Chain A
Amino acid sequence: MALLTCKDLCPGYDGREILHALNFSVEQGDYVCIVGENGSGKSTLMKTLLGLIPAVSGEIIYDEGLQKGQIGYLPQQTDVQKDFPASVKEIVLSGFCAGLKLRPFYSRSQKQIAQENIEKMGLTKLKKRCYRELSGGQQQRVLLARALCAAQKVLLLDEPVSGLDPAAAENMYELVGKLNKDDGMTIIMITHDLHSAIGQADKVLHIGEKVFFGSRGQYLEMLDAKGFSKSGGAENG
């Protein structure tokens, strides 16, 4: 069974649908890119998938083995975070917050995993540094390490490279690609940057006036054939 299946899903706010009747499914180990123009509802869709906002209609069916604690999320940065006094270690550890349940403090094994994730993201030297003093790319890696603490199976990323310079963006894609290939993490990523991102993806979900869901090969073929890119902002990168 698919890890996550959307049946006639209509995400939206206050009963007003932004997207109409989406049908797609994500398998274990998939790397899915969600693309579409600004304002087409990509973030809304992701928030609906995460259960942050209720769907207007339709349903999302999660695989039985998939619980809330196994989904990691890399949100877009908020204003609050830009001047937040917190060390890298504190932020990464907070990924385990849901895993605490009723316990007040983090366990030794959770701290150990946090440390491993910090190393994996190449943040060892920055561990004690303050989040607000880091560069954009470093901040994103901190948030990715935090998401890894929360995620065992699925990682949802909302424009992980927005505002990053090309080198940092490249580095980010590399890390995400590695997580997908080496750790078998399922990736669902919103992106603008078609060239680099789609190079790695298995599947593409294009939303907007025309909705497309299929393999990367099919998507690229269709872009060539129909000039779909003009309405889809595919020339963005």
Chain B
Amino acid sequence: MADAFDKLYTYITQFPFVRYALIVGVLIALCSSLLGVTLVLKRFSFIGDGLSHVAFGAMAIAAVLKLTNSMPLILCITVISAILLLRTGKNAKIKGDATVAVISVSALAIGYLLMNIFSSSTNLSGDVCTTLFGSTSILTLTTAEVWLCIALSAIVLAVFVLFYNKVFCVTFDEDFARATGVKASAYNLILAVVIAVIIVLAMNLVGSLLISALVIFPALSAMRVFKSFKSVTVCSGILSVVCTLLGICISIVYGTPVGSTIVAVDLVAFGIFMVIGNFSGRVKA
């Protein structure tokens, strides 16, 4: 055990990329978990999943076009899809969940197809695996990417804090909000854009298949135990940061893939919170 700590300490002090990974990991975890509470409560958890697949497709397009900086394109496509998805969510002829399924599998399939046909890479399946499971991308971030991530996270956090009360109102009861004159659709739009930004950021950390876990698990865990919106949000944020740090550290020391390790830690935390929730619920009853 002491060995593991020593190893971790040397890594963190010696290699800047480990520090970058930790910083970016914490920020992404915080943003995704805060928004996760709203998404889960609004019954929008599946949208995170759909969007992450769209982001994968966008990344494939960027790779085919041989863009050096693929981030803006991916961000654009994902934001637009998020807006479309949330918009159709309510009154579409195809039901919301079916739309998401259609879009996400299509994006996934087309993404892989494009990569297969046009890719010049010698290690195609390795590339795909990296984008899907984020195996190493968090450890290969450039300084520019780190700063971009810090800036975007700061914006997301600021938006969340400034609109916290409105987000609560619209999440709890959209009809009431609308009836009393709140511009609910404007806030839904903001929410959609923010979600898309987080998904694109989180792709670096856990890869596009595992993003949903980052969004959903902390919120679900916090909801088992806490009883007010504020405490659930705060707990979800803290829990997500702790799990992500732990996950990254474990993966560095034991050489496991970063994304899946983080998700595994989140899953364990969810189990613990569920037990605590059941226990405290029974005591009260």
Contact = CB atoms under 8 A, between A and B. Distances in A.
A82 to B, nearest CB: 11
A104 B228 contact: no
B163 A104 contact: yes
Given A85-B232, A133-B227, A50 B179 contact: yes
A192 B56 CA distance: 52
B228 A90 contact: yes
Contacts of B166: 97, 100
Interface of B: 41-43, 161-166, 168-173, 175-182, 223, 226-232
A97 B227 contact: no
14 contacts: A68-B180, A71-B179, A73-B179, A75-B175, A78-B175, A80-B41, A80-B171, A85-B223, A87-B227, A90-B228, A97-B166, A98-B181, A147-B176, A150-B180
A94 B187 CA distance: 15
A49 to B, nearest CB: 9
Nearest to A106: B165
Contacts, number: 98
Contact of B226 (A51, A85, A90): A85
B187 to A, nearest CB: 10
Interface string A38-82: 000000000100111000000000000001110111010010110
B179 A97 contact: no
A98 B175 CA distance: 12
Given A75-B173, A85-B227, A87-B227, A69 B181 contact: yes
Contact of B180 (A98, A106, A133): A98
Contacts of A130: 227-228
A232 to B, nearest CB: 27
A132 B227 CA distance: 9
Interface in A79-113: 80-81, 83-87, 90-91, 93-95, 97-98, 100, 104-106
Interface residues of A, number: 39
B228 A146 contact: no
A120 to B, nearest CB: 18
Interface of B, helix, strand, loop or mixed by DSSP: helix
Given A81-B172, A97-B166, A133-B227, A73 B180 contact: yes
Given A84-B229, A87-B227, 6 more contacts: A71-B180, A72-B180, A73-B175, A80-B173, A85-B227, A97-B180
A86 B179 contact: no
A132 B277 CA distance: 14
B270 to A, nearest CB: 15
A94 B172 contact: yes
Most buried by A among B161, B162, B164, B178: B178
B165 A95 contact: no
Contact of A52 (B42, B161, B164, B178): B178
A78 B180 contact: no
A69 B180 contact: yes
Given A73-B180, A75-B176, A87 B228 contact: yes
Contacts of B175: 47, 52, 73, 75, 78
B172 A91 contact: yes
Contacts of A94: 165, 168-169, 172-173
Contact of A90 (B168, B176, B180): B168
A138 B11 CA distance: 56
A67 to B, nearest CB: 8
Given A85-B223, A98-B182, A106-B165, A73 B229 contact: no
Most buried by A among B178, B180, B227: B180
B173 A78 contact: yes
